[in-house]
Amino acid sequence: MNAVLGLDVGGTTTKALVVATDGTVLHEERRPTAHATDPLPGLAAELDRLTALAADRGAAVVGAGVVTPGLIEESTGTVRYASNLGWRDLPLRAGLQERVAVPVTTGHDVRAAGLAEQLLGAATGVADVLLLTIGTGIASALVSGGRALTGGTGAAGEVGHAPVRPGGELCPCGQRGCLEVYASGAGVARRYGARTGTAFSAAEVVGRLGSDAVAREVWADATSALADALVTATLLLDPSVVVLGGGLTAAGADLLDPVRAGLAAGLTWRPPPPVHLTGLGPLAGCLGAAALAMTHAGLGDHLAGWARGRRPVPTGTG
Amino acid sequence: MNAVLGLDVGGTTTKALVVATDGTVLHEERRPTAHATDPLPGLAAELDRLTALAADRGAAVVGAGVVTPGLIEESTGTVRYASNLGWRDLPLRAGLQERVAVPVTTGHDVRAAGLAEQLLGAATGVADVLLLTIGTGIASALVSGGRALTGGTGAAGEVGHAPVRPGGELCPCGQRGCLEVYASGAGVARRYGARTGTAFSAAEVVGRLGSDAVAREVWADATSALADALVTATLLLDPSVVVLGGGLTAAGADLLDPVRAGLAAGLTWRPPPPVHLTGLGPLAGCLGAAALAMTHAGLGDHLAGWARGRRPVPTGTG
């Protein structure tokens, strides 16, 4: 049996999957991201450990995909800048490939998640998918015809600083009225805290919607800003399906219903695309990384089978 | 000598080109668009006339490209809806192909213009180009890796109704604060007229910038709205070059300078892409139509020579 590795290195958590080439998930784990001065030796050791672990389960690893946030030069696999990881001009792909035997490919976490949603998530088989991930920050990916749009400098999808409320509240980036000010996890928590003096997380604010008028007001501002951003993105990109991912999707219908209503209300002369919550949860990026490894290994035509062959992902095995 | 035809059917004007396959423009003409109940016979007669005209000049026509505004189903060449032409569910490609001998291909006017700008205009050789056309209305095209993004329903690029000023002035579409309200030719003329009671065109408003405070205010609102829309589009799409096209580009530096400044000011953590005025003027769509015909005729690899081989376009020959 052959397998690939998927590694999703986030600012807080690193997630890893071992996936058989038929789509069966053999192993899943999550652990806090190690913030080393030189991250390459640690990541290489991680890939070696996962390769050995796969071998213990009878699987030969034929490739590894590693995805990260930030600005990634797709042609070279160099991470130009990833603020949450403190990386600048890190030759991720070349540096890992020097250190490990399995073929390594690299990519952007949100674009990989978009591919995974299209492959086996909430937008399976749809050619034009817009994924909006709403976590601490906000980013997006457009998959068009199975290809994730990267842009001229690898920075496509950074919609978090779109000026949805021109002249609005100040963003840590220095601008006013950015989408993240109102609708990111950090923004929701900060805006609630500024009004009440209480430090609640965005999830806690959502938990108070039934009983707390300030929570309702802050959340309405968030979903309204998200809907406006989706109106603009829909007009520009014309996605067939919009998928919402990231931590704030735990809000469920409290997120989905007002965003759907706002998007429909903002589009007068064209129907809105359907909006779904992620079908893959926090593993979307990791599954996308594994899918990149499949393609890199020349096994891209096996990916169509993943949606059919995918087994339930084990949890808590890390 | 072989040649292709490019036909750009606009709401007001129809433009036509006969272009030799080496890129030499053999003939150019413009005339008012005929608004017939069934436009197919007239358009077919036009293609036949241009084919005969090319033959008179010693050129055999090997293909024709016809581009239009509206929602176009690229796979079938059916125009689902083009409000300025009054077309709905018009089988443009099939209907023309039934009537004329030369192979016909069809496309979207602004996307074709984007391809032309990339091929031989203001963004020659650049892989990721955003074209924003600012005329009576506002539309855009993203060319990524030589391919114009169409979207799931052929409606990508319709940025004119993006809510750049949420809760702002009423748009004829029924929404408030759309980009076109502030920055289209129609919008500039309407806003100036509402303040002064004088019916000036957008070009006349621009002509009064040196002497008329209301004109300056209306124009500042227009360029500020355009810059904000470009900030969002840059964050989403990461174009390497932004090209401004359409009638309002006659404003020259009065358009370019404030839009460049506003785009740079709105992007705090990434450099702005360069912004250029169209290199092809009102012929961009027509040249793009001819380029589509080249590709359809299997001559796509000759297009690289167009930028080198292109002769000055004759004017006033219609």
Inspect the interface and report whether the beta carbons of B140 and A268 lie closer than 8 Å. Answer: no
Mean pLDDT throughout B207-216? Answer: 97
So what's the pLDDT on residue B148? 87
What is the Cα–Cα distance from A226 to A237, expressed in whole angstroms?
16
pLDDT in tens, A141-197: 999 877 889 999 889 999 999 999 999 999 988 899 999 999 999 999 999 999 999
Fold: same for A2-114+280-309 and A125-277: yes
Give pLDDT, residue B314. 43
- Check pLDDT > 60 for residue B299: yes
Chain B, nearest residue to A144 by Cα: B151
Residue A141's DSSP bridge partners are: A131
DSSP annotation of A102: S
Q: What is the pLDDT of residue A52?
A: 97
pLDDT of residue B312: 46
- Category of A316 on φ-ψ map: left (φ > 0), alpha (ψ -120 to 50) or beta: left
Q: Is B238 on the interface with A (CB under 8 A)?
A: yes
Cβ neighbours of B232 in A, within 8 Å: 159, 162-163, 232
Mean pLDDT, to the nearest integer, of B256-280? 94
Candidate from B128, B164, B165 with C-beta closest to A151: B128
- Interface probe with B: pick from A144, A171, A235, most Cβ of B within 10 Å: A235
**How many separate helices (H) and strands (E) can be counted in chain A?**
10, 13
CA dihedral A157, A160, A161, A163 (to 10 degrees): 100
Q: How confident is the model at residue A317 (pLDDT cuts 50, 70, 90)?
A: very low
State the pLDDT confidence band at A250, using cuts at 50, 70 and 90. Answer: very high
Tell me the chain B residues in contact with residue A270 when contact means C-beta distances shorter than 8 Å. Answer: 153, 155, 158
H helices of A106-252, where? 109-120, 179-183, 185-196, 202-207, 213-237
- Just give the CATH number of B2-114+281-309: 3.30.420.40
Q: Which of A65, A64, A89, A70 is nearest to A11 (CA)?
A: A70
- The yes-or-no verdict on residue B221 having pLDDT over 90 is yes
Chain B interface includes A52 (CB < 8 A): no
Q: Do A268 and B173 touch (CB under 8 A)?
A: yes
Report residue A34's pLDDT band, with 50, 70 and 90 as the boundaries: confident
CB contact B120 to A (< 8 Å): no
Q: Chain B: nearest CA to A165, how far in angstroms? A: 7
For residue B315, pLDDT over 60 is answered with no
For position B307, what pLDDT does the model report?
74
Q: Is A268 on the interface with B (CB under 8 A)?
A: yes
- A161 neighbourhood in chain B, CB within 8 Å: 235, 267-269
Verify whether the Cβ–Cβ distance A235 to B159 is below 8 Å.
yes
- Report, as an integer, the average pLDDT of B196-202: 96
- Which of B232, B237, B239 is nearest residue A163 as measured by Cβ atoms? B232
pLDDT given for residue B287 in this prediction: 95
Whether residue A307 lies within 8 A of chain B, CB to CB, comes out as: no
Which of A27-36, B54-63, B219-228 has the lowest average pLDDT? A27-36
pLDDT at B64 over 90: yes
- Residues of chain B contacting A240 with CB distance shorter than 8 Å: 152-153
Q: Measured at the alpha carbon of residue B289, what is the angle toward residues B285 and B292, in degrees to the nearest 5? A: 135
- Asked if A232 and B159 come within 8 Å (Cβ–Cβ), the reply is yes
When pLDDT is averaged across residues A65-76 and rounded to a whole number, the result is: 91
**Is the model's pLDDT at B86 over the cut of 90?**
no
B41 near A CB under 8 A: no
Would the pLDDT of A315 be above 80? Answer: no
Does residue A250 or residue B172 have the better pLDDT? A250
Choose the closest CB to A163 out of B144, B151, B228. Answer: B228
pLDDT for res B308: 58
B138 touches chain A (CB under 8 A): no
Q: Strand, coil or helix: what is A299?
A: coil
CATH of domain A125-277: 3.30.420.40
Q: Which of residues 173-232 of B touch A (CB under 8 A)?
A: 173-175, 228, 231-232
Q: Give me the residue label for tokens 């052929």.
A: B154
CA distances from B283 to B120, B289, B305 (A): 12, 10, 18
Percent of chain A with pLDDT strictly greater than 90 = 75
| Mean pLDDT score, A198-213 | 96
Instruction: Indicate the residue of B156, B173, B241 with minimum beta-carbon distance to A269.
Output: B173
Distance from CA of A115 to the nearest CA of B (A): 16
What's chain A's average pLDDT? Answer: 92
Judge: B162–A232 Cβ closer than 8 Å, yes or no.
Answer: yes
Question: What is the pLDDT at residue A308?
Answer: 58
* Sequence letter at residue B294: M
Is B304's pLDDT higher than 90?
no
What value does the mean pLDDT take over residues B206-228?
Answer: 98
Residue A314 has pLDDT above 50, yes or no: no
With cut-offs at 50, 70 and 90, classify the pLDDT of residue B27. Answer: very high
User: Any CB–CB contact under 8 A between B128 and chain A?
Assistant: yes
Q: Using a CB-CB distance cutoff of 8 angstroms, which residues of chain B are in contact with residue A144? A: 144, 149, 151
Provide the mean pLDDT of chain B: 92
- Comparing CB atoms, the residue among B140, B152, B239 nearest residue A128 is B152
* Residue A270: pLDDT over 90: no
Among A76-80, B9-13, B114-118, B219-223, the range with the most confident prediction by mean pLDDT is B219-223
Q: How far away is chain A from the Cα of B260, in angstroms, using its nearest Cα?
A: 16
Is 3.30.750.210 the CATH classification of the domain at A2-114+280-309?
A: no
CA distances from A119 to A24, A104, A150, A291, A306 (A): 14, 21, 18, 9, 8
Contact A233 B235 (CB under 8 A): no
Q: Spell out which residues of chain B touch residue A140, defining contact as CB-CB under 8 Å.
A: 236
Closest chain A CA to residue B224: A166
Q: Is the pLDDT of residue B311 over 80?
A: no
| Strands B128-134, B241-245: pairing kind | parallel
- Given the DSSP bridges, would you call strands B241-245 and B275-277 parallel, antiparallel or unpaired? parallel
Taking residue A217's Cβ as centre, other Cβ atoms within 10 Å add up to 13
pLDDT for residue A82: 86
Chain A neighbors of B154, CB-CB under 8 A? 238
* B131 to chain A: closest CA residue: A236
Contacts of B233 in chain A (CB under 8 A): 236
What residues does each domain of chain B span? 2-114+281-309, 125-277
Q: Is B201 helix (H, G, I), strand (E, B) or coil?
A: coil
Q: Which residue has the higher pLDDT, A125 or B33?
A: B33
- Give the chain A residue nearest B151 (alpha carbons): A238
Burial-class residue B197 by CB neighbours within 10 Å (0-12, 13-18, 19+): exposed
Q: Is the pLDDT of residue A309 over 70?
A: no
- CB-based contacts of B133, cutoff 8 Å, min separation 6: B110, B113, B139, B140, B141, B244, B245, B246
- Nearest of A89, A3, A12 to residue A47 by alpha carbon: A3
Residue range B249-265: mean pLDDT, rounded? 97
Q: Which of A236, A241, A242, A243 best probes binding to B when mutated, by most B CB atoms within 10 angstroms?
A: A236
Nearest-by-CA chain B residue for A154: B238
Per-residue pLDDT at B270 exceeds 90: no
